[in-house]
Structure 1
Amino acid sequence: MIDLEVLEKEVKNNNLKNSYILCGLDEMLIKESIDMIIDKAIDLNFKDLNLVKFDGNNMIFEDFMNACETLPFMSEKKVVVVCRATYLKDKADSQGTKLFSQIEEYIKNTPSHCILIQYVLLNDKRDTLVKNKKIMKFDKSAVLVKADKLRGEKLNRKIMDIFNKHNKNIGKIELKYFADLVPNNFNIIEREIEKLVSYTNGREITRHDIDLLLPNKSENDAFDLVEYISIKKPEKAIDLMNELLHKGENMMLILSLIENQFKKLFMVKVYLQEKKSKEEMIGLLKVPPFICEKLILQSKKFTIQQIQKCMKLCVNAEKSLKSSSIDKKIEMELMIINTVRD
């Protein structure tokens, strides 16, 4: 098992393997690494003839096998990429389970002319490659790549590269401030940089610009908490709450953030029923377009009755936390558990 940094070194040294499985949270980082392998393995002039991509959600094994078996054209190698290979996840439907068994057997004898690349996205930041028993079965037949989030200077350098790509300078202090505030996801980072570049056209980026355009980090924590509730994983919501408490966040603040998130979701549900456009909702909610998109997607995981119930639970929990001497942490845990009960 290797990480993205080791993969980059091996590819630069022309040390290409026949089979890779990349696993992580950031799809943009994963795709950049795959593009790096493709550019190294295939002549640009014959790329379209020697590159085949499949959607892992609806792939037919026979088509996949034929793509791998077909010889490359005017090239030593061809590349077959399976995007979002959901059959590699621990929980898969019957079709995914069958496809996994077929590929598990086939990958042991991947043709030497073919570089097979599969990637799968993790569910959340607590999920890891080594916990996935299916993927670990490929440890001997493929190179397993942990596509971990970039941190520290690596993250800063990558963000600086994106600013440079947009021909925009940013000071070192402002760069670090931006990196500390923005969610560690390069799809999001790219969009936030584009907004900053457009907003500050012709002048330097300031901290005030970053504060004005970036979503508050606390809002992201609230979104994650409610997201776990929406997929009925209260244990993960409780883990995140404990993580925030460990970082020094106030219990009442956490509850307030959850309650405000449900209020926003309620408003979104109402606006959707009224057939309001996304642009109208952005103005009414006073949030950036990206946040509005996230709210719309999250709201679809609840009925309006479920949101109302969760809002009532938040109000009741607030009363209990303010007026009684009970264990506040237990009260919050019970509230979170009750939000997922029918």
Structure 2
Amino acid sequence: MDEALKIVNDIKKGVVKPIYFLYGEETYFIDKISSYIADNILSEEEKGFNQMVLYGKDVTIDDIVGNAKRYPMMAEKQVVIVKEAQHLSRSIEKLTAYAENPQMTTVLVICYKYGKLDKRKALYKTVKKCGVLFESKKLYENQVSEWLRKTLLSSGYSISHKAAILLVEYLGTDLSKINNELDKLKLALPEKKEITPLDVEQNIGISKDYNNFELKKAIGERNVLKATKIINYFAQNPKDNPFVLTVTLLHTFFSQLLQYHGLRDHSPKNVASSLRINPYFVGEYQTAARNYPMKRVSQIISSLRELDMKGKGVGSGKVEQADLLKELLMKIL
């Protein structure tokens, strides 16, 4: 997050490099940086002749180099953006020759999503000397909430801790997906407002009381009544609460709980760091560990794997989601 912000801030200050090689699993930051360059290096008048977007599946390295070596027309620089450059993975090293002597009036942006550059090879070492290498890594769940908070803060909003956790629990760690939902919230709500779980429920359709976040908490506390109410709600609203998502989140929870039992240091700081969870959740794991001994946790993990297979129709006929949910609760509690 901070590295992406530094790249943007450097460009704002006029520090523009001839090559930006953006790669990695998290597409959100790659898109944000490339979009910023596309929007801000050239004026609207200059873009017509001096800004070009190429696609990796349609071009060769020679095509990219040929365009990059052109001189700008009536402008100080030209911008060449190569999207979907991962399609050139077999020939990407051929870009080394250009990187060794780049056209200084060209800003070449390579968007190499889902892939990695071999740090031992020439292209990585050469671009590192003359340009910017940016690896866009997937954020862990405990990092996404902080990213979400900062993103909203930059737009004049704040968000309650529970609302942030609710969004991450429901949407996962796909930043582009979360950002789309945040845009919906910002359209519906006035600026300088703290976004609450109720706002999330009313504008995104996630129930603030009946969701996987609350189910996990109820199960950890062995609160049978609350867990049963949530399961019944899921059974009545199967499209909004798919079984595969519920069983996956609970499997992750109990796998982390097993890891918790294996820790020698159960201080909140160490637990949050070791399990890669938000410190807000540490208390839930402490409570669950008292309710579920290590041996019982292992049994539950095994049962969840069986239920996951059953939910996918492996080794059995089609089973209704309501029946799967009841069986899940029975085997855990």
Q: Same fold judged by TM-score > 0.5? A: yes
- In structure 1, what residue type is equivalent to 2:180? R
User: What's the CA shift string for 1:48-103, capped at 9, x where partnerless?
Assistant: 32111122233233332221122111111111111122146xxxxxxx41x22322
DSSP 3-state at the match of 1:182: helix
Stretches of structure 1 lacking an aligned partner (at least 5 in a row): 89-95, 124-128, 165-169, 227-237, 264-306, 323-342
Matched, 1:178 2:163: yes
Work out the CA distance in 2 between the residues paired with 1:54 and 1:133: 23
Work out the CA distance in 2 between the residues paired with 1:40 and 1:197: 24
Who is 1:208 aligned against?
198
Work out the CA distance in 2 between the residues paired with 1:77 and 1:245: 56
- Residues 135, 196 of structure 1: CA spacing in aligned structure 2 closer, same or farther, 3 A cutoff? farther
Who is 1:235 aligned against?
none
8 Å contact 2:149–2:164 — kept in the other structure?
yes
Matched, 1:157 2:142: no
Structure 1 residue 309 displacement after superposition: 1.6
Q: CA RMSD in A?
A: 4.5
Give the greater-gyration-radius structure (CA): 2
Who is 1:325 aligned against?
none
Work out the CA distance in 2 between the residues paired with 1:100 and 1:42: 27
- Residues 6, 209 of structure 1: CA spacing in aligned structure 2 closer, same or farther, 3 A cutoff? closer
Matched, 1:106 2:98: yes
Matched, 1:17 2:6: no
Structure 1 residue 225 displacement after superposition: 9.2
Aligned length: 241
More off after superposition, 72-81 vs 30-39: 30-39
Work out the CA distance in 2 between the residues paired with 1:9 and 1:258: 50
Work out the CA distance in 1 between the residues paired with 2:196 and 2:178: 17
Matches within 5 A, 1:43-62: 43-62=43-62
Matches within 5 A, 1:66-215: 66-87=66-87, 96-97=89-90, 99-122=91-114, 132-133=117-118, 137-142=122-127, 143-148=132-137, 149=139, 154-161=147-154, 164=156, 172=158, 174-183=159-168, 184-196=173-185, 206-211=196-201, 213-214=205-206
8 Å contact 1:23–1:121 — kept in the other structure?
yes
8 Å contact 1:222–1:258 — kept in the other structure?
no
DSSP 3-state at the match of 1:140: helix
| TM-score between both structures, scaled by the size of structure 2 | 0.56
User: What's the CA shift string for 1:117-152, capped at 9, x where partnerless?
Assistant: 1122237xxxxx5xx426864333222113344656
8 Å contact 2:145–2:165 — kept in the other structure?
no
Matches within 5 A, 1:310-329: none
Work out the CA distance in 1 between the residues paired with 2:69 and 2:256: 49
- In structure 2, what residue type is equivalent to 1:158? T
Structure 1 residue 201 displacement after superposition: 9.2
- In structure 2, what residue type is equivalent to 1:193? L
- In structure 2, what residue type is equivalent to 1:70? R
- Residues 73, 187 of structure 1: CA spacing in aligned structure 2 closer, same or farther, 3 A cutoff? same
- In structure 2, what residue type is equivalent to 1:86? Q
Work out the CA distance in 2 between the residues paired with 1:84 and 1:257: 36
Who is 2:266 aligned against?
none
Work out the CA distance in 1 between the residues paired with 2:71 and 2:243: 49
- In structure 1, what residue type is equivalent to 2:150? R
